Amino acid sequence: MARLITILNGPNLNLLGVREPGIYGHDTLDDVAAACAAVGREFGLETELRQTNHEGELVEMVHAARETSAGIIINPAAFTHTSIALLDALNAFEGPVLEVHVSNVHKRERFRRHSYVSLRADGVIAGFGVEGYALAMRRMGTLCA
């Protein structure tokens, strides 16, 4: 049976592909889900992609992943810079955690350069567009082998 990788997405990522395409591109979360599933199959991994605009729901998704998932790929979006609750939830997850950002957060506003999530993450991928998710899946394939 394949192991599950949970791919979590924070606020406004439901608008990926239409919101600020100059920064985030034209690919949608459906495109991300398809790309991650394709890479996952190469490694015998299943994927589940989820998105929420609500911090508490994202925390609950991390809690649920403790019971079902071998690893978490997370794009916390704006919660990256603000959510200690999300960090605490990720700290309770025993598998690998990879943080992904579509844009290069280090080239943007100063406040975006700080990540609470990176204090837990086993790796961070930023600035590769939605291809960063597929890169994270490849790394997950190695970490969960």
Give tens-digit pLDDT for 84-96. Answer: 999 999 999 999 9
Task: Note if the pTM is more than 0.85.
Answer: yes
* 19 or 79, greater pLDDT: 79
- The whole-number pLDDT of residue 1 equals 47
pLDDT the model gives residue 112: 63
**What confidence score (pLDDT) does residue 30 get?**
97
Query: What is the spatial distance between Cα 13 and Cα 24, in angstroms, rounded to a whole number?
Result: 10
Mean pLDDT calculated for residue range 99-113: 79
Structure tokens at 24: 């985030």
Catalytic residue among 26, 101, 106, 116: 101
Taking the CA atoms of the chain, what radius of gyration do you get in angstroms?
14
pLDDT over threshold 90, residue 74: yes
> What is the rounded distance in angstroms from the CA atom of residue 100 to the CA atom of residue 7?
10
Residue type, position 5, single letter: I
Q: Catalogue the E-assigned strands of 1-128.
A: 3-9, 45-51, 71-75, 97-101, 123-126
Segments of the chain assigned E as strands: 3-9, 45-51, 71-75, 97-101, 123-126
Going along the chain from its start, the domains and CATH numbers come out as 3-144 (3.40.50.9100)
pLDDT at residue 18 tops 80: yes
How far apart (Å, rounded) are the C-alpha atoms in residues 5 and 41? Answer: 11
User: pLDDT confidence of 111, banded at 50, 70, 90?
Assistant: low
24 is catalytic: yes
**Any catalytic annotation for residue 114?**
no
